[in-house]
A and B are shown apart, each in its own frame.
Chain A
Amino acid sequence: MVQQLDTLQESASQTAGPYVHIGLMPSYTGNGQIYDSELGYSPIEEGAEGEIIEIVGEVIDGTGWTLRDALIESWQPDASGKFAGQEGADPKVSGWCRFAADAETGEFTLRTVKPGKVALRGGGFGAPHISLWVVARGINIGLQTRIYFEDEDNSEDPLLKRIEQRPRVETLIAKKEADGKYRFNIRLQGEGETVFLDI
């Protein structure tokens, strides 16, 4: 018998369930009277430096059906690549947003500032990206992924370089539809399945 390690084990995840919006975005369900202000309403305040962009997309299941109940959180740095709390970060960029698929159409919109390149451990910088965390009924553990941008140089990003099946890289790249407008769909399963991360 060896001695015990003194580390604890992480609590198990459970599905966010069908009514996750009651808890995390009460005004979405018409229960907005509980809190004076809701958290994560926008990742930026008026006056944030950099290009303001809009990313529109859908979360699609293995049957090709768009989820109506997905809730997503995003986390990103400011236009210069600094995260809130880091020295010199833009005070108008909290970097965190909570948003939901539309209950009728399933489409989500993230309005934010385009992120800058992110510092890597060991030096150098990764391509600009936004981190996402996706939950919904039936997703037993929250799915992590990233949004990159087709109009940026993604060739040296260590995460993208690590994807062995090169066509799958495309699943992480938002397509530009107009100035400041991008589309990013998330496919949970099957053909074109989004690359999800084990970080």
Chain B
Amino acid sequence: MTHPLARLQADQGPLIPRNREIHPVPYDPGYKTSVARSPNQPLLAMESGLSEETGPTFGHSAFGQYDNNLILNWNRGAAPAIGERIMMHGRVLDENARPVRNTLVEIWQANAGGRYRHKKDGYLAPLDPNFGGCGRTLTDENGYYQFLTIRPGAYPWPNRGNDWRPMHIHVSVFGHSFGQRLITQMYFEGDPLINLCPIAKTVKDRASLDRLVAPLDMAHSRPLDYLAYKFDIVLRGRRQTMFENRIEGM
């Protein structure tokens, strides 16, 4: 019997170890909830195996017409959500700068007033009857994705005396392997609250935080309709397996 790993393809090699310096610190007293929810013990380091190098795949058939249109998806086109219309778009690449194709990107966010459609969100901003606050899509063959949505409002939260979350959209990306799984946030260029936010500040490397701030992209904006913001996402890459006939492993 052939060992099952012998059949794996070149792009299913071990994952590149995570550079945790560019990620948030798990324990950060400025973000109070992290205090009791962060491990004290060091993580156990291990080379990835099949459990991390494989992952679920998703087909287009699972998706509906409005899934990536948050302006219309709550009521399937009956009436648009209120607020500043934006297109959020970008590309999902891995650390080797290769596009991550046909992978699931999911987003969720507050409405234009800064309120989530959740029974535990008691902020005094009104709920928008035409806004649900989530969307999903697959990247295309070149790793590109896009959403139409409403720019979310900033909102206060009970952390320290007067903390406010900058405008942000939560982004969940799958990649092709379970070990690439990532949840991040997109912030908006020019928002002064980014520099005050305890959650943004859990990322200690400034360049790493700056990569979560989407620039205004007038070239992709549509006149008299929406502004565009560009948000590229990088997932972990794989160490390439060496092959005798393709020495570079690609």
A interface vs B, CB < 8 Å?
Answer: 6-24, 26, 29-31, 33-37, 39-40, 61-63, 65, 67, 73, 75-77, 81-87, 94-96, 118-121, 123, 126, 129, 131, 133, 135-144, 146, 158-159, 162-163, 168, 188-190, 193-199
Contacts and interface: CB of A to CB of B under 8 A. Distances in A.
Contact of B19 (A6, A10, A63, A139): A10
A190 B27 CA distance: 13
A75 B55 contact: yes
Given A39-B104, A75-B55, A133-B181, A23 B172 contact: yes
Nearest to B5: A119
Given A33-B132, A36-B64, 4 more contacts: A23-B172, A24-B108, A34-B67, A120-B49
Interface residues of B, number: 90
B142 interface: no
B154 interface: no
Interface in B3-58: 3-5, 7, 14-20, 22-26, 28, 31-41, 43-52, 54-58
Contact of B43 (A36, A188, A197): A197
A143 B39 CA distance: 9
A40 B47 CA distance: 26
Q: 9 smallest A-B Cβ distances: which pairs?
A: A23-B108, A138-B33, A198-B43, A140-B24, A96-B56, A138-B37, A62-B36, A83-B54, A119-B4
Nearest to B54: A83
B71 interface: no
Q: Counting chain B CB atoms within 10 Å of each CB, which of A83, A129, A136 scores highest?
A: A83
Interface of B: 3-5, 7, 14-20, 22-26, 28, 31-41, 43-52, 54-58, 62, 64, 67, 73-74, 93-97, 104, 106-108, 116-121, 132-134, 136, 170, 172, 178-179, 181-185, 199-200, 202-203, 205, 208-209, 211-212, 233-237
Main secondary structure of the interface of A (DSSP, over half): loop
B182 A188 contact: no
A33 B117 CA distance: 13
Given A12-B211, A140-B31, A23 B107 contact: yes
A141 B26 contact: yes
20 contacts: A6-B97, A9-B19, A12-B208, A19-B108, A20-B183, A24-B172, A26-B134, A36-B64, A37-B62, A40-B56, A84-B56, A119-B5, A120-B50, A131-B178, A138-B36, A140-B23, A143-B39, A188-B37, A196-B44, A197-B43
A188 B205 CA distance: 25
A174 B31 CA distance: 32
Contact of B185 (A14, A30, A94, A199): A14
A86 B5 CA distance: 10
A115 to B, nearest CB: 9
B235 A86 contact: no
Given A131-B52, A135-B183, A12 B209 contact: yes
Given A20-B108, A86-B54, A35 B64 contact: yes
Nearest to B42: A198
A22 B108 contact: yes
A11 B211 contact: yes
Nearest to A141: B23
A135 B24 CA distance: 14
Given A9-B95, A30-B119, A131 B202 contact: no
Nearest to A198: B43
